[in-house]
Amino acid sequence: MIDTDSSRANYGSWLWFSINVWLSLFLDGSLFDVKAAKVLYYQLLGA
């Protein structure tokens, strides 16, 4: 069995880093972009 807690922590860190990079590159300060980021985040979580 894989150490799921460790894997989840690593995945969470990578996901958070990716979201931050995405926001840094594309976020324009508009509500639309914030909502789009949240949708993308939840889609990734559900995948």
pTM for this model (two decimals)? 0.38
Q: How confident is the model at residue 38 (pLDDT cuts 50, 70, 90)?
A: confident
Query: How far apart are alpha carbons 11 and 44 in whole angstroms?
Result: 11
> Higher model confidence: residue 22 or residue 4?
22
Q: How confident is the model at residue 22 (pLDDT cuts 50, 70, 90)?
A: confident
Which has the closest alpha carbon to 37: 27, 25, 29, 47?
Answer: 27
Query: Residue for token digits 């840094």?
Result: 24
Query: How far apart are alpha carbons 6 and 38 in whole angstroms?
Result: 24
